[in-house]
């Protein structure tokens, strides 16, 4: 496996968050492929129970076990895990108390659901704990099992609370296995081995939510990664359209001369409709330029991923992965 210089050398846990509709899971999957390229082994984890990873890789629903789902460009393997909080809790009880059978009995009684509903911070500790265990895990020869772990995390509005596990369980336990476990998780999450990446699109609300999330993470002492601007359209220079200087009459003459309209009246109607669309496109381009400026002010690395004309299928996913590698992310 050849070495390479990237923007995130030394990071082994890549947490990916973003506002709904920005393509968070798509970017997480493409990032996992990019990180695995060239012969690496990467684990892609989801925690929200939506089976988004299975859908994007065109696989059956994932069980609660790590299994290979893709081969990365240039060799390398991507494994996936859909974490189930109930199974994670059973593992937890066996690990710390030797009570897996008792845990299953409690599950049948509904105690597990009750506990994680009353103390949602405990549920977060379970799923982040399973993820960080994969980051720390070593094989018999002492090497890390995974070169990197990518976590498809909850949306931006919940990410700080989700990762700030020590604070969330402070009211549950101040000593004992739960406290020790949360401290271990926090040690990984707050270390230089972790980076929390944001996914956004160039629209006001997702960008503002991204900026708010970055501020919250920094206030909590959590490591901010990069910003992936997803679904970027190719921009044209249409300053005259924005300023209202678009000549509809000239456009009508051009349409008629090109044989794209019948008669002056038809050409005029088409030209006016087309001019309106061009002006709207130009205004959107100006808004996107403004949102780029807002993101630049955040002082984090920024990467732009194209809007795929044919949608995100497997071929598109690999295209995004190559784009991520080309920008020095992985």
The answer to whether the CB of 214 falls within 8 A of the CB of 298 is yes
Burial class (CB in 10 A: 0-12, 13-18, 19+), 68: exposed
Instruction: Tell whether pTM > 0.75.
Output: yes
Tokens of 123: 């549920």
pLDDT for residue 256: 73
Query: What is the domain class of 13-233+307-326 according to CATH?
Result: alpha beta
How does residue 102 score in pLDDT terms, banded at 50, 70 and 90?
low
Does the pLDDT of residue 108 top 70, yes or no? no
94: Cα within 13 Å, side-chain hemisphere: 10
Does the pLDDT of residue 1 top 50, yes or no? no
pLDDT for residue 299: 95
Q: Tell me the per-residue pLDDT of 276-323, one tens digit each, with 9 for 90 and over.
A: 777 777 788 889 999 999 999 999 999 999 999 888 999 999 999 999
How does residue 243 score in pLDDT terms, banded at 50, 70 and 90?
low
How does residue 46 score in pLDDT terms, banded at 50, 70 and 90?
very high
More confident residue, 203 or 99: 203
pLDDT for residue 182: 80
């Amino acid at each position: 496996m050849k070495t390479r210089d990237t923007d995130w050398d030394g990071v082994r846990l890549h947490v990916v968050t973003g506002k709904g509709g920005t393509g968070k899971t798509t970017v997480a999957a493409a990032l996992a492929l990019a990180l695995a390229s060239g012969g690496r082994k990467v684990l892609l984890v989801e925690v929200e129970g939506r089976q988004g990873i299975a859908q994007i890789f065109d696989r059956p629903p994932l069980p609660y076990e790590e299994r290979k789902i893709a081969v990365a460009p240039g060799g390398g393997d991507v494994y996936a895990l859909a974490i189930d909080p109930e199974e994670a809790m059973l593992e937890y009880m066996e690990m710390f108390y030797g009570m897996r059978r008792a845990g299953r009995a409690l599950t049948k009684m509904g105690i597990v659901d009750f506990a994680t509903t009353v103390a949602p911070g405990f549920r977060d500790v379970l799923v982040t704990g399973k993820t960080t265990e994969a980051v720390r895990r070593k094989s018999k020869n002492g090497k890390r099992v995974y070169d990197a772990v990518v976590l498809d995390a909850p949306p931006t509005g919940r990410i700080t609370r989700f990762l700030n596990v020590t604070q969330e369980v402070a009211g549950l336990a101040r000593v004992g296995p739960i406290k020790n476990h949360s401290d271990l998780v926090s040690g990984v999450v707050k270390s230089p081995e972790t980076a929390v990446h944001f996914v956004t699109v160039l629209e006001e609300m997702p960008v503002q939510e991204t900026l708010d999330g970055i501020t919250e993470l920094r206030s909590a002492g959590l490591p901010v990664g990069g910003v992936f601007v997803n679904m970027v359209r190719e921009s044209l220079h249409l300053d005259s359209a924005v300023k209202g200087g678009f000549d509809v009459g000239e456009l009508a003459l051009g349409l008629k001369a090109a044989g794209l309209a019948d008669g002056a009246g038809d050409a005029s109607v088409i030209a006016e409709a087309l001019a309106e669309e061009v002006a709207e496109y130009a205004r959107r381009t100006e808004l996107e330029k403004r949102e780029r400026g807002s993101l630049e002010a955040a002082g984090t690395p920024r990467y732009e991923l194209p809007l795929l004309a044919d949608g995100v299928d497997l071929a598109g996913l690999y295209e995004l992965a190559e784009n991520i590698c080309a920008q020095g992310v992985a």
